[in-house]
Structure 1
């Protein structure tokens, strides 16, 4: 009975959080204010009637759908004792949100074209060369917590390794609840999660280093103040990403400890994974509420007269309702997102295509080797 209640709570929590995120998706908290539903508009049209109407329609439909799917999937999951209902419900909500978003994107783009919103504007672009000559420094001190967790994991693993049993158990969610699969004890199985910590830390550090040199999203109306604000945004994002890395490493350390001690408690496993993930969610919420997309919620520290310019209308380079950037003439690899907070890759850049192909080739080769073995 406790397992059924736990599965029901997990289904409900997962769908409730997802529904809340999808409901809030069109909010300026999660997207650049002048890019409603992925459509670039002049700042004075960010709250035009057509935009507000589509926001209201999207939110109304998502509110009803999220409530219905959450209740039905939670009840079904409780009756069957499985998280499959929650997973299916999540897919349905995401599919509906994508359809509603695409419809709103098309309606706003049509209103923008029919109304000539860019007809009487002065479009422009701005860059800050000091971001290259004097870039925001990598937050080395913020990597210390992640490295300390890795060091503790390695030391603990070395100490307990000689006394480990012949087989190690790892928890895994299945249709029937939490199950434990056993693997022959070896250096790779015992230290597999520690290796994941190392790879995660190196990957996140590389990503942060790349983001610090990514193309900046500056305010063309107030370029000096915008550049200062963007620097603070980069600093906050870099520190947060390394902090999130430390939290995920801590979760992996907890899972390693459970594996090494052969503890197969579902509630304890849930606590070990859930507490760090809640902390990660808290960091993300703080970024959304206090920083915003490209630092839009950060307070300007200097007064500056407006140039009267608006960002260039570059809708032609954005596909899939403003979620994918494809521009072969743009040398940038990373560009600020239109939908959500952060950056996305330029799929028209040859280096991105080569890198993606290389990763896929390595993944396929590894799968073939594993299958042959």
Structure 2
């Protein structure tokens, strides 16, 4: 394939992918429908014409920016030797535009909500299910086994081959010029670099799962019993998906370790080792978006109790604790460290929680101390 055409396809592919993802950002497919553009609205207002209009304006303007950016991206592809640079620059520009458009839509909905009195004559409330503490969702240990086994196999294989390794190793990594294979002196750190990454990744994901199992539940205040049952299924699905993703990434790192230990530099094999786990991870993400949804809203309705009466409550209007157009939650009086986000699926951190601030301070201090010691001894 002509090099110029290859560069143009790579750059346009990056730009189109980013535009498509950002265009989907305000969709109920990605975000809870009751917080469009990070603004809390009553459930009966989630499909209001004002909300629909802001979604349409956001998408039209964002796609217009994407189309206008395509020309400069193609010119960059023709003038630069490295594929992807122009596409990344265009993607950055589109991302900045998306942030501006999102913020404008956020402010517009806040104004509409206040002028229209959307929360007048509504009964606001919050619910909690104490059984999530007395009988919590259990850690899905069977789903953690593939990742743990992969790490153990990697350690045993590394210990077996380490005595016979050559004096230098090639550790592949992806750069702007493609996959490169720099050589490093063989030491335990270089020989087990990917294995160490496996262990850290597995521990981080397991810790994340353990934390979210104790996170505060965001339940449907109109039907608390149904909401609690649905949240349990949502929590189970999300934790299993996280552990499955960790196993896939560990398998990818095991493949890279094997290539480094055996001195294999095959580009097709490298693409296969990296590509297959990444494609499987994308399939898991698609499952979460299409079959689970934010807060489990697209899970099968088998948990709905038809006998449960509607409480008549709506979620509390807590916009005052959300900053950055609904991206940041800061509430020093809230004991929860993890809360349901207003953008995307999963959880976000309460940046005002004293425990989180103390832990962050300790980690930053340790990082600075490690960097200082490393610099002095280098």
TM-score (norm 1): 0.94
Aligned to 2:137: 136
**Distance of 1:331 and 1:267 partners within structure 2:** 50
**Distance of 1:70 and 1:270 partners within structure 2:** 27
Aligned to 2:191: 190
Deviations 1:229-256 (A, max 9, x none): 0000000011000000001111111211
Aligned to 1:347: 351
**SS class of match (2:206):** helix
Confirm whether residue 368 of structure 1 aligns to residue 372 of structure 2: yes
- Comparing 243-252 with 77-86, greater Cα deviation is found at 77-86
**Distance of 1:50 and 1:321 partners within structure 2:** 17
**Distance of 2:213 and 2:27 partners within structure 1:** 26
Aligned to 1:28: 28
**SS class of match (1:80):** coil
Offset at residue 341 of structure 1 (A): 0.4
Offset at residue 66 of structure 1 (A): 3.1
Deviations 1:17-75 (A, max 9, x none): 22211110001111111000000000111111221111001111222333454575366
- Comparing 244-253 with 355-364, greater Cα deviation is found at 355-364
Confirm whether residue 102 of structure 1 aligns to residue 103 of structure 2: yes
**SS class of match (1:332):** coil
Deviations 1:178-235 (A, max 9, x none): 3322221111111011011111111111110110110000000111101100000000
**Distance of 1:149 and 1:5 partners within structure 2:** 40
**Distance of 2:134 and 2:360 partners within structure 1:** 29
**Distance of 2:206 and 2:162 partners within structure 1:** 29
**Distance of 2:368 and 2:9 partners within structure 1:** 37
Q: Per the alignment, do residues 65 and 192 of structure 1 end up closer, same or farther by CA in structure 2, a change over 3 Å counting?
A: same
Tell me if the contact between 1:82 and 1:174 (Cα under 8 Å) persists in the aligned partners: no
Tell me if the contact between 1:3 and 1:81 (Cα under 8 Å) persists in the aligned partners: no
Aligned to 2:66: 66
**Distance of 1:89 and 1:371 partners within structure 2:** 36
Confirm whether residue 336 of structure 1 aligns to residue 337 of structure 2: no
Aligned to 2:54: 54
Q: Which of 308, 311, 336 is equivalent to 1:307?
A: 311
Root mean square deviation of aligned Cα: 1.9
Where structure 2 has 5 or more consecutive residues not aligned to the other structure, the ranges are none
**Distance of 2:120 and 2:208 partners within structure 1:** 39
**Distance of 1:267 and 1:73 partners within structure 2:** 28
Q: Which of 311, 324, 327 is equivalent to 1:323?
A: 327
**SS class of match (2:172):** strand
Where structure 1 has 5 or more consecutive residues not aligned to the other structure, the ranges are none
**SS class of match (1:120):** coil
Aligned to 2:247: 246
